[in-house]
Structures are given as structure tokens and as C-alpha cells.
Homo-oligomer: A and B are copies of this chain.
């Protein structure tokens, strides 16, 4: 599929993340005292859906775009999702009447959380990541847990920790214990890390087990996701019930939801199975996406270094498989549930999606532009995730997912 042209000129350049082919959904704060409201990104602009709905220019059968989240629209279901995309594609296409009054410059607004996160689940679906982490902690011969090739392993995260790109992230305190120490100390995290992930947003509910195909239908769209991780807190706390405070400081998502429809031309199958899956987990079509991803690290007052380049398709399990597995027990899923993919690492050293892997647990610090090195994140570092599916002369991009690490509090109990 080629670039679809828009009357919004900045949407027609090959390097924009937001051509007419994309039409990602977000919530923006115009800074004029009005409530944050729904919009769609087009080039350098945002098409104001609240205003367009108010004027009858778009109509999905009810007022949902004056709200500060996309949850109510998601609840309308997949017919409404397709209908809105059709309306917007017509309205914004080259040849349609230009409506500059409905545009707001992206540079003039602040993006806020696009959804109310119902619950947040984080998976571990990247095989290269699981193998790397397992190798670091248990050696390569025992790297993959026995269940890994049978189950899209996941754990419940903390929805209250999910923040939008641009939110500063405070280095946490926690219980730390060195391998040679008997007892833990309560100190600021020394091994603060990122995890490059994609978040899938559940747009329709379920109250019983769903098939992989049904699960794929339930997904509304995708965001970039950085699951900030305190490796030293995790090492001491995670046995036997899994990560808890190590993952609760923050999880940053990008503000624009790239819809499943926009990514449809970039669908691709999961890698070949190394162990046959149980039937309930078998895909009935391609449900991963070919999306190039990168991680950039910018120290305070220094230039940016791209520290990793990988691709969404490196995952072993798709979000649809994860969601299907999530429902096997009868677990109810709700509109606004967010599923983190797990860290997406490739096979090469510079395609690893976390500093734990990039620096091999600190044994091989990476070198940044300008000569600084990093084993883990330092105060003042800004982490930026970027991603885009590459079409013929255009890209379906995710924008940026960034956050800056602030120093730990001197005393977390000072008031």
C-alpha cells in the first residue's frame, strides 16, 4: 500500500510518523484550561475530534470525544472502530475540503494518558530476552524455564504505575541485598533499567476463555511501552511470587495509540515454533507486526545515543496469544486493559532491549557518544523509545515514548 495523501501537508512527507495511513488516537491538553480531549494525529497537527464531533463532522452515535480517554469509544466495538477510521480517512484525504479550524499544532499541546488503564499485565514473550536474562542468572544451559515454550509467561503489574511519555521517573528505594551479603539494606536502587516493549490495548471485554482469533479482534491498538525495572530490588524480592516493587515505580507508554487497522499491512507471523503449542494457543493467521524499534539514551546535557535497534516481530508470542492465554482461567478482561509484550530483544548484541542485557549485567558497560559508559541508568538520563512500520514511501510511526530519570529522594519519608 502506498502513501495516502492528505490536505494536511506535513502528513505527506516520507519521514512523518503520522501520515493519513496511520491516524493514531490520543488525548491532548490544549493548555487553555479546557478538559483534555480526544484527537487524532496527522502530520505535525492534531485533528480535534471533540470539536469535530460537536459540529457533526464525525459521528459515532454518541458523544465520546469530549472525554479525556478513549475507553468509551473502545467500548462501542469494532464496527465503530472501522467506521471512525473510514470517516477520518475521508475527512483528511487530499481532495476533501481543508478544515484548518479543526487542527491544533502538536507542538502547542501536552499529550496526556490516552486511556484509563483498567489493569496492566506484563508478559515475557521475547525469547532472546528470556534466553539472555536466563543465561545471566542461571547460565545458557538452563536459560529458558521449562514452561517458556508452552506458555506466554506473564504476571500482573500495577495499573497505577502507568504514566504517559514525558513524565519524569524518580529512582526508587527498596530492599537490596548483594550476593555476598546476609541481610538486605533499604537504599536507592543502583541497577535501574529500561525494558523496550510494545503495549497492546484491550478494547473489548470478555468474561470467558477466548480463542486467539477472538483475542486479536478484542485488541484496539498498540503503544510503545517502557517497563522501568529495578534489577537489584527484583533480584532479592522475586522468589517465589514474582516481581513486585521492582516493577511498580513507573511504566511509560507513548501517547498515541496506533490502531490495529493502521498496522494491518505490516502483519507478520510469529517465528517458527520450537515446541508445538497446545491448540488453544495456535495462531490462525499472522498476528505480529513488522515494526522497527529503537532505544535512545541521552545523558543530562549531552547528545543522544541509539543504544538498541530491534523489531516487534522478534517476539515469540503475539499479543493475541497472550490475551487468549490470559482468559483461560475464566479471568475477566476489561476495556482498557494494557498488556506489555515483554522485552523485545533481537539476536545481536546491539538489538537487546534492556541495559541488563546490553551491559551483560554490568560486566560489559556500553559506551555512549561522547565517551561516557553505562551499565545501568544514571540520574538525569532520558530514555526514548521510537518505533515505526515502514511502508512504501511512508511510515506508520508510534511517536516517542520518553522519560527522564530523577535522583532518588534523600529520605523517602520526609514530608
Contact = CB atoms under 8 A, between A and B. Distances in A.
Interface in A237-264: 237-246, 248-250
Contact of A147 (B147, B160, B211, B237): B237
A183 interface: yes
Contacts of A91: none
Contacts of A237: 147, 151, 153
Number of copies: 2
Contacts of A325: 245
Interface string A322-363: 000110111111100000000000000000000000000000
Contact of A413 (B157, B177, B185, B280): B280
Contacts of A173: 209, 328-329
A204 to B, nearest CB: 14
Nearest to A247: B329
A387 interface: no
Interface string A160-174: 110000000010111
Given A119-B119, A153-B237, A278-B175, A245 B186 contact: no
Given A241-B124, A241-B243, A248 B331 contact: yes
B331 A245 contact: yes
Nearest to A170: B330
Nearest to A279: B186
A241 B172 contact: no
Given A158-B119, A184-B278, A329 B241 contact: no
Contacts of A412: 208-209, 328, 330
Contacts of A151: 175, 184, 236-237
Counting from the closest, the 5 A-B pairs by CB-CB distance are: A242-B242, A248-B331, A156-B156, A209-B412, A245-B329
Interface of A: 118-119, 124, 145-147, 150-151, 153-161, 170, 172-175, 177, 183-186, 208-211, 230, 233, 236-246, 248-250, 275, 278-280, 325-326, 328-334, 409, 412-413
7 contacts: A119-B119, A145-B239, A156-B244, A160-B334, A172-B330, A238-B242, A280-B413
